[in-house]
Amino acid sequence: MTHDIFTRHYRRIMTDGDTRAELVADPKRGLERHFGAIPDGDYRIEIVEERDDTITILLPAPPRPEQSADERLAHVEDRIYDILHTSGVGGYLIPDAALTWVLRDMRALWAQHAGERV
């Protein structure tokens, strides 16, 4: 069976305790070490470990000072979800459309650096 870089990635982060610990401790550095590259930019990455006995709830960001609650609600209703696996095998939550491109750039970089890193 042939696996692409992302399948190998999920397999490793499911089973390699050291990789999981590194990703949780410093997500950007861990992803860069794991894949060989990460896009520059002013964004943060948070990693939450999925557990079989845990429901993970992501709270929406509060309104910015210049936003009303209704404007923020409209933004949340338009939220983009990029869940790669819906059967409990991780995924990505992208809270802003602009970050969609960061994730796409990140995944394109990872595919370019595939080699034997994963």
Helical pair 17-25 and 5-15, crossing angle rounded to 10 deg: 90
pTM value is 0.62
Element (H, E) at 53: none
Q: What φ, ψ does residue 92 adopt, rounded to 5°?
A: -130, 135
pLDDT band, residue 37 (cuts 50/70/90)? confident
pLDDT mean over 59-70: 81
Tally of CA atoms within 13 A in the half-sphere of 74 that contains its CB: 4
